[in-house]
Amino acid sequence: MTLHESIKYTEVDEHGNACPVVVNTDTGEFKVKKPRFKAFNDSSYSNVAKLAKDHYLANAIFHFLVENMDRTNALVVSYDVMQEHFGKTRRTLYNGIKYLRDNGYINIIKSGNMNVYCVNAQIVWNQSQNKIHTAKFNATVYVSNKEQIKYDLTKKIK
Protein backbone atom coordinates (compact mmCIF):
# COMPACT_ATOMS: atom_id res chain seq x y z
CA MET A 1 0.00 0.00 0.00
CA THR A 2 1.44 3.38 -0.94
CA LEU A 3 1.18 6.66 0.88
CA HIS A 4 -1.89 7.72 -1.08
CA GLU A 5 -3.91 4.54 -0.66
CA SER A 6 -6.28 3.64 2.11
CA ILE A 7 -8.66 0.84 2.98
CA LYS A 8 -11.99 2.31 4.06
CA TYR A 9 -14.43 0.18 2.16
CA THR A 10 -15.35 -3.44 1.75
CA GLU A 11 -17.15 -5.31 -0.97
CA VAL A 12 -18.92 -8.63 -0.67
CA ASP A 13 -17.71 -11.30 -3.10
CA GLU A 14 -19.81 -14.03 -4.72
CA HIS A 15 -19.31 -16.28 -1.66
CA GLY A 16 -20.52 -13.69 0.84
CA ASN A 17 -17.02 -12.80 2.10
CA ALA A 18 -16.18 -9.20 2.97
CA CYS A 19 -13.22 -8.11 0.83
CA PRO A 20 -11.20 -4.98 1.63
CA VAL A 21 -11.15 -2.34 -1.11
CA VAL A 22 -7.98 -0.26 -1.53
CA VAL A 23 -8.64 3.21 -2.93
CA ASN A 24 -5.90 5.36 -4.44
CA THR A 25 -6.81 8.80 -3.11
CA ASP A 26 -4.92 10.55 -5.92
CA THR A 27 -6.53 8.79 -8.88
CA GLY A 28 -9.76 7.42 -7.42
CA GLU A 29 -8.84 3.98 -8.74
CA PHE A 30 -9.76 1.05 -6.53
CA LYS A 31 -8.69 -2.55 -6.21
CA VAL A 32 -10.68 -5.27 -4.47
CA LYS A 33 -8.40 -7.48 -2.39
CA LYS A 34 -8.96 -11.11 -1.48
CA PRO A 35 -10.89 -11.72 1.75
CA ARG A 36 -8.95 -12.40 4.93
CA PHE A 37 -9.18 -15.84 6.45
CA LYS A 38 -8.18 -17.42 9.68
CA ALA A 39 -6.60 -20.83 9.23
CA PHE A 40 -7.16 -23.63 11.74
CA ASN A 41 -4.39 -26.21 12.00
CA ASP A 42 -5.86 -29.55 10.93
CA SER A 43 -3.99 -31.55 13.58
CA SER A 44 -5.15 -29.21 16.39
CA TYR A 45 -8.75 -28.77 15.28
CA SER A 46 -9.93 -31.68 17.43
CA ASN A 47 -8.83 -29.60 20.45
CA VAL A 48 -11.22 -26.84 19.37
CA ALA A 49 -14.06 -29.37 19.18
CA LYS A 50 -13.08 -30.68 22.64
CA LEU A 51 -13.11 -27.12 23.98
CA ALA A 52 -16.66 -26.59 22.69
CA LYS A 53 -17.77 -29.80 24.40
CA ASP A 54 -15.94 -29.35 27.71
CA HIS A 55 -16.25 -25.65 28.54
CA TYR A 56 -18.85 -23.53 26.74
CA LEU A 57 -17.71 -20.17 28.17
CA ALA A 58 -14.01 -20.80 27.49
CA ASN A 59 -15.03 -21.76 23.96
CA ALA A 60 -17.00 -18.52 23.55
CA ILE A 61 -14.07 -16.47 24.88
CA PHE A 62 -11.66 -18.32 22.55
CA HIS A 63 -13.81 -17.55 19.52
CA PHE A 64 -14.21 -13.91 20.64
CA LEU A 65 -10.41 -13.62 20.76
CA VAL A 66 -10.02 -15.31 17.36
CA GLU A 67 -12.68 -13.10 15.78
CA ASN A 68 -11.12 -9.87 17.05
CA MET A 69 -7.38 -10.66 17.06
CA ASP A 70 -5.04 -8.88 14.71
CA ARG A 71 -2.66 -10.41 12.18
CA THR A 72 -0.25 -11.33 14.99
CA ASN A 73 -2.84 -13.43 16.87
CA ALA A 74 -2.99 -10.88 19.69
CA LEU A 75 -5.74 -8.82 21.30
CA VAL A 76 -5.80 -6.43 24.23
CA VAL A 77 -9.24 -6.38 25.82
CA SER A 78 -10.31 -5.51 29.36
CA TYR A 79 -12.41 -7.56 31.72
CA ASP A 80 -14.97 -4.73 31.69
CA VAL A 81 -15.48 -5.14 27.94
CA MET A 82 -15.74 -8.92 28.28
CA GLN A 83 -18.23 -8.57 31.14
CA GLU A 84 -20.35 -6.32 28.95
CA HIS A 85 -20.02 -8.62 25.93
CA PHE A 86 -20.66 -11.95 27.68
CA GLY A 87 -22.90 -10.80 30.54
CA LYS A 88 -20.78 -12.75 33.04
CA THR A 89 -18.99 -11.81 36.24
CA ARG A 90 -15.27 -11.09 36.31
CA ARG A 91 -14.66 -14.27 38.31
CA THR A 92 -16.57 -16.43 35.81
CA LEU A 93 -14.62 -14.88 32.92
CA TYR A 94 -11.37 -15.40 34.83
CA ASN A 95 -12.17 -19.11 35.16
CA GLY A 96 -12.80 -19.41 31.41
CA ILE A 97 -9.60 -17.55 30.55
CA LYS A 98 -7.64 -19.64 33.08
CA TYR A 99 -8.96 -22.79 31.40
CA LEU A 100 -7.77 -21.50 28.01
CA ARG A 101 -4.34 -20.60 29.40
CA ASP A 102 -3.87 -23.80 31.41
CA ASN A 103 -4.82 -25.96 28.41
CA GLY A 104 -2.58 -24.16 25.91
CA TYR A 105 -5.21 -22.36 23.82
CA ILE A 106 -3.81 -18.92 24.69
CA ASN A 107 -0.86 -17.21 26.34
CA ILE A 108 -1.25 -14.07 28.39
CA ILE A 109 1.37 -11.34 28.42
CA LYS A 110 1.14 -8.56 30.98
CA SER A 111 1.55 -5.03 29.64
CA GLY A 112 1.29 -2.70 32.61
CA ASN A 113 -2.15 -3.40 34.08
CA MET A 114 -3.49 -4.77 30.78
CA ASN A 115 -3.47 -8.32 29.45
CA VAL A 116 -2.38 -9.14 25.92
CA TYR A 117 -4.17 -12.35 24.90
CA CYS A 118 -2.15 -14.31 22.34
CA VAL A 119 -4.01 -17.13 20.59
CA ASN A 120 -1.89 -20.27 20.10
CA ALA A 121 -0.66 -20.17 16.49
CA GLN A 122 -0.53 -23.97 16.42
CA ILE A 123 -4.35 -23.93 16.63
CA VAL A 124 -5.39 -20.94 14.50
CA TRP A 125 -3.37 -18.45 12.50
CA ASN A 126 -4.14 -15.14 10.88
CA GLN A 127 -1.13 -14.82 8.53
CA SER A 128 0.72 -16.87 5.99
CA GLN A 129 2.10 -20.20 7.19
CA ASN A 130 5.74 -19.16 6.65
CA LYS A 131 5.40 -16.55 9.43
CA ILE A 132 3.98 -18.93 12.04
CA HIS A 133 7.15 -18.94 14.17
CA THR A 134 7.61 -15.18 14.24
CA ALA A 135 6.10 -12.85 16.76
CA LYS A 136 5.49 -9.15 16.71
CA PHE A 137 3.35 -7.67 19.42
CA ASN A 138 1.34 -4.79 18.16
CA ALA A 139 -2.06 -5.83 19.42
CA THR A 140 -5.50 -4.70 18.45
CA VAL A 141 -7.00 -2.95 21.47
CA TYR A 142 -10.73 -3.59 21.94
CA VAL A 143 -12.42 -0.95 24.13
CA SER A 144 -16.04 -0.22 24.83
CA ASN A 145 -17.65 3.19 24.70
CA LYS A 146 -17.68 3.28 28.53
CA GLU A 147 -13.88 2.88 28.68
CA GLN A 148 -13.09 5.73 26.33
CA ILE A 149 -12.21 9.15 27.62
CA LYS A 150 -15.11 11.55 27.33
CA TYR A 151 -14.04 14.77 25.67
CA ASP A 152 -15.91 18.03 25.77
CA LEU A 153 -15.57 18.97 22.12
CA THR A 154 -16.96 22.44 22.77
CA LYS A 155 -13.94 23.57 24.85
CA LYS A 156 -11.57 26.00 23.19
CA ILE A 157 -7.81 25.70 23.24
CA LYS A 158 -6.28 28.47 25.35
Tell me: do 53 and 10 sit in the same domain. Answer: no
Whether residue 13 is found in the same domain as residue 89: no
The pLDDT assigned to 134 comes to: 47
Look up the domain containing 114 and give its range: 39-146
pLDDT at residue 122 tops 90? no
Does any domain span residue 50?
A: yes
The residues that bridge with 77 in the sheet, in sequence order, are 142
Q: What per-residue confidence (pLDDT) applies to 3?
A: 46
Query: Residue 97 has what pLDDT?
Result: 98
119, 70: one domain: yes
Same domain, 21 and 50: no
Question: Has residue 154 been placed in a domain?
Answer: no
Question: Which pLDDT score is estimated for 85?
Answer: 94
5 pLDDT more than 80: no
- Asked whether the whole model's pTM tops 0.75, one would answer no
- Residues whose CB falls within 8 Å of the CB of residue 4, separated by 6 or more in sequence, listed in order: 24, 25, 26
**Residue 120, domain member (yes or no):** yes
Same domain, 2 and 68: no
Identify whether residues 85 and 50 lie together within a single domain: yes
The residue that leads in pLDDT, 121 or 132, is 121
Q: pLDDT confidence of 127, banded at 50, 70, 90?
A: low
Q: Which of 147, 155, 142, 154 is nearest to 67 (CA)?
A: 142
Q: How confident is the model at residue 132 (pLDDT cuts 50, 70, 90)?
A: very low
Q: Rank 2-11, 25-34, 142-151 by mean pLDDT and report only the highest.
A: 25-34
**Would you state the pLDDT for residue 136?**
47
Please indicate, yes or no, if residue 157 is contained in any of the structural domains: no
In this structure, the answer to whether residues 48 and 32 fall within a common structural domain is: no
Count the domains in the chain.
2
